[in-house]
Amino acid sequence: MKTNVKTRKSSSTILIFLAINLLAACDNPMAAGNKSNGADASSMPSEKSYEIVTVTRAVSLDRSLAFTKAGYDVCAASAKAFSLPVMPFPALPNDYFDGRQTYMSDGVNFYQKKETYVLDLASYEERCASEFKLLTDITIVRGNRTQTINLAVDGVEHKQFGPDVPYYDFTALKKAAIEVFSLRKIKSGISMRCLDSTVSSMVQKDFEACIYDGPNDSSLFYATDHPIDLFIHLPPVMGPEVDSVRVTDVQVFKLGKAIDSKFFEFK
The 8-class DSSP code of residue 43 comes to S
For 217-234, write each residue's pLDDT tens digit: 999 998 767 899 999 999
Close Cβ partners of 170 (under 8 Å, ≥ 6 residues apart): 26, 32, 224, 225
Q: Calculate the average pLDDT of the chain.
A: 83
Instruction: Give which of 45, 48, 108, 102 is closest to 264, Cα–Cα.
Output: 108
The 8-class DSSP code of residue 112 comes to E
Give the pLDDT score at 14. 39
For 162-188, write each residue's pLDDT tens digit: 887 777 777 888 898 899 999 999 999
Kindly list the domain boundaries of the chain, sorted by start residue.
7-61+99-117+134-264
Report the distance separating Cα 177 and Cα 234, nearest Å. Answer: 20
For 95-153, write each residue's pLDDT tens digit: 999 999 999 999 999 999 999 999 999 999 999 999 999 999 999 999 889 999 998 87
Instruction: Outline where the chain has alpha helix (H).
Output: 12-20, 61-64, 66-81, 171-180, 197-203
Q: How confident is the model at residue 24 (pLDDT cuts 50, 70, 90)?
A: very low
Average pLDDT over every residue of 68-80: 94
Instruction: Give which of 140, 145, 53 is closest to 100, Cα–Cα.
Output: 53
